[in-house]
Structure 1
Amino acid sequence: MTVTDPKKDPSPSQVIEDNDDAEEDEEDVVEVDPSGTGDAKKKKKKKKPKKKKKVEQSDPPRVGLSKFFPTGIYPEGELQPYKDDNSWRTTSEEKRYLEKLANEDPETTYQNIRRAAEVHRQVRAHARKHIKPGMSMIEIVENIENGTRALVEEDGLESGVGFPTGVSLNNCAAHYTPNAGDTTILKQGDVLKVDFGVHVKGRILDSAFTLTFDHTYDKLLESVKAATDTGIREAGIDVRLGELGGYIQETMESYEVEVGGKVFPDSLINISKTIQNLSGHSIGLYNIHAGKSVMLIKNDDPTKMEEGETFAIETFGSTGRGRVVESGDCSHYAKILNAPKVPLRLTTAKSLLKSIDKNFGTLPFCRRYLDRAGESNVLYTQLFLQDYPPLCDQLGSMTAQYEHTILLRPTVKEVVSRGDDY
């Protein structure tokens, strides 16, 4: 099976031709006398086409993707064949026909999530290049979110940011984004998890990576990335989620991390790198956690992956105890799905709910997004909102994360968010 390489498709550094303004210019009129009688006749020279305009991605990236992909057809991610009993799908005429229709229609799930993936690739390429110690967390997230909004051409609930940009540091594994007034500065020895999402018509692309600025935790990052790749490779239609967790754990725990001369082997439970109470998840329409969980350890969950589903395969590793707890100021919130209707008596609560329905719907948001929408920070979590505080391992430990979104197509598995970076 040939693997599709996103690098072959237009990237931020490539120049794309824009044909929209292509016109023809007439050259000067000349007089000719073909008969030699002195009666000149006017004759026009052939028209020459105008030079086509060139469109380049800006730095930082702020040019919308429609300028690069006017047909609405976006690059495929990496394609991986299904294994074992599902290998027949690759050559099935019926399944291939269904995919052909979906691949050629700009309005399908495939094109929506691929558009989101291309936004993610271009925005993160800039972020990975420019994030440096000394930057504030606010500066980092606003650069990513401004790029996402510009490239996806934000349009209410039609397209925009998928969830708050996570920039969790060190022992904090997930769910930290700065609130207004946060003065945290990125330092040289920090381990930074960058987790951000893009959505197009409710199809959410969820992908994350880890940055460090010295080589102390290279093995930790290597183990987590390898575990994510294992989860992707072993995922597929009819695969049981409990067994998939076992494959992820086996890969993660085959590594040893050495910090300051001390070796952390994964065979020891109290210093296991696998964070056992975090997981990947299925993704639904406007629903980042759609109900199925991909645990990072072997378990008895018999639930199967199904054709057409979208999953975020994400793994977390740690040099600490391998379990996280809620800790610190909360920044992440989301409207409770299918929450019972509660009569709201306070005008502020009614206003807040109306604003959330308009701007976010069921997508996660943070306090900064409320500020941007002109809302006060009075939150009524006990009524219609769920809060998601930061998730942290023990102080002094370091955590890492890698994540990709995969689409279980009828004939093949597509790693939609794959790029040339990870």
Structure 2
Amino acid sequence: MSDDEREEKELDLTSPDVVTKYKSAAEIVNKALQLIISECKPKVKVVEICEKGDSFIREQTGNMYKNVKKKIERGVAFPTCISINNTVCHFSPLASDETVLEEGDILKIDLACHIDGFIAAVAHTHVLQEGPVTGRAADVIAAANTAAEVALRLVRPGKKNKDVTDAIQKVAAAYDCKIVEGVLSHQMKQFVIDANKVVLSVSNPDTRVDDAEFEENEVYAIDIVASTGEGKPKLLDEKQTTIYKRAVDRSYHLKMKASRFIYSEITQNFPIMPFSARALEEKRARLGLVECMNHELLQPYPVLHEKAGDYVAHIKFTVLLMPNGSDRITTHSLQELQPTKTVDDPEIKAWLALGIKTKKKGGGKKKKGKKGAEGEAQAEPMDATNGASTQEQE
């Protein structure tokens, strides 16, 4: 389908079928996240867990819409990543990688799946230990999670992207942490994981995005990364980069046979969604990807790092801006946290006390609607600061 045709046929949340596909993708991605967490144990190879996550998504999505006449694309929308300790994001190693998990590691698990191009994305932070998470590790997870809770309440029709940027930085500061620069929250559309409307994590002169207002029936992946360090991650080793996305607006006649072979494979199997080089034949991919990158046929997702010893936490969720309020469809409960800081700022408390759902008029129907929307665990995430649902504060 051409971009013009897709634009012409663009579907949004006004279609019940679209909402169903988003929620079906979310159900799969939430289960995949649960599986991945259960597989995270000391001395287990990271690549093995990443492969299990991707395989689970392929298997589960493959079982859906099998009996419809029109072919429906479905599968991995972002490869499973497990970024450890001061590694910020995008670590999804090749089959030959020997990296293993260790007791006490802070893991950032990041993945997404899609059904018919409707994407559900999630990221979660998990510490490889028994018992509550304490100290600065608890601070940074609480900072990311509380910022995510605030963002959930501010990404609503009528609010601006700048409102969210300012708020999440204030939340992080309350925990003596920093929001990591360069992380963007994106609007998502059918087959588009990074649409035009963007929420900047950190305002600075080097990174600017257009002002935007949130509107009903839009979908967003809200992406929060917090750090106990400076929040200015660096690329340490280009060879760690394994995730790419085809730049559909670029063309170039590749010179090397290996490059043409790999690019043909990418075009056929991963025309739009990000993919892992692990899915390609490794030796040929090493050669071919270089020329593709040199001519900007691929967009890389680099593996970034804070300084050794810094703690990093990542929370990402998908939210549907429905007529009856915001519906957070991807999430996972946190471990028990015992942060060293508490949030006393009245403005942050006021943000957390905001409702997620729009209160409906009418007697009996109101109760039914509220239960249906708010009775789901996904719609009411936990507040990291006290372990209680922030909705209870209303």
- TM-score, normalized by length of structure 2? 0.71
Conserved in 2, the CA contact under 8 Å of 1:180 and 1:367?
A: no
1:115 has 2:35 as partner? no
Structure 2 unmatched ranges of 5 or more: 1-11, 335-380, 382-394
1:304 has 2:213 as partner? yes
Q: What number of residue pairs does the alignment pair up?
A: 303
User: 1:310: how far off?
Assistant: 1.4
Conserved in 2, the CA contact under 8 Å of 1:318 and 1:399?
A: yes
Q: 1:315 matched to which residue of 2?
A: 224
1:219 has 2:139 as partner? yes
- TM-score, normalized by length of structure 1? 0.66
Q: 2:299 matched to which residue of 1?
A: 386
Conserved in 2, the CA contact under 8 Å of 1:327 and 1:389?
A: no
Amino acid at match of 2:146: A
Q: 1:371 matched to which residue of 2?
A: 281
Conserved in 1, the CA contact under 8 Å of 2:317 and 2:331?
A: yes
Instruction: Note the alpha carbon deviations across 1:78-132, whole angstroms, 9 max, x for none.
Output: xxxxxxxxxxxxxxxxxxxx97x733xxxx2211111110101222222223321
Q: 2:267 matched to which residue of 1?
A: 357
3-state SS of 1:133 partner: coil
Instruction: Note the alpha carbon deviations across 1:168-216, whole angstroms, 9 max, x for none.
Output: 1111111111112110111112111000111111111110101113424
3-state SS of 1:152 partner: helix
CA distance in 2, matches of 1:290, 1:310: 10
Q: 2:112 matched to which residue of 1?
A: 197
3-state SS of 1:237 partner: coil
> Could you tell which deviates more after superposition, 194-203 or 342-351?
342-351
Instruction: Note the alpha carbon deviations across 1:225-253, whole angstroms, 9 max, x for none.
Output: 11111101111123211111111122222
User: 1:419: how far off?
Assistant: 5.2
> Could you tell which deviates more after superposition, 326-335 or 150-159?
150-159
CA distance in 2, matches of 1:348, 1:157: 31
Q: Matched residues, percent identical? A: 26
Structure 2 vs 1, CA of residues 145 and 326 (structure 1 numbering), >3 Å: closer, same or farther?
Answer: same
Conserved in 1, the CA contact under 8 Å of 2:61 and 2:75?
A: yes
Instruction: Note the alpha carbon deviations across 1:287-335, whole angstroms, 9 max, x for none.
Output: 2222332122467853212333211112111111111122222111111
Conserved in 1, the CA contact under 8 Å of 2:83 and 2:109?
A: yes
1:166 has 2:81 as partner? yes
Conserved in 2, the CA contact under 8 Å of 1:404 and 1:416?
A: yes
User: 1:375: how far off?
Assistant: 6.3
Amino acid at match of 2:273: L
1:417 to 330, 335, 341: 330
Q: 1:279 matched to which residue of 2?
A: 184
Q: 2:97 matched to which residue of 1?
A: 182
Q: 1:48 matched to which residue of 2?
A: none
Larger radius of gyration: 1
Structure 2 vs 1, CA of residues 365 and 393 (structure 1 numbering), >3 Å: closer, same or farther?
Answer: same
Conserved in 2, the CA contact under 8 Å of 1:332 and 1:367?
A: yes
Instruction: Note the alpha carbon deviations across 1:24-51, whole angstroms, 9 max, x for none.
Output: xxxxxxxxxxxxxxxxxxxxxxxxxxxx
Structure 1 unmatched ranges of 5 or more: 1-97, 256-265, 267-271
Q: 1:130 matched to which residue of 2?
A: 39
CA RMSD of aligned residues (A): 2.5
Q: 1:408 matched to which residue of 2?
A: 321
CA distance in 2, matches of 1:420, 1:376: 38
Amino acid at match of 2:312: T
Conserved in 2, the CA contact under 8 Å of 1:195 and 1:209?
A: yes
CA distance in 2, matches of 1:320, 1:420: 25
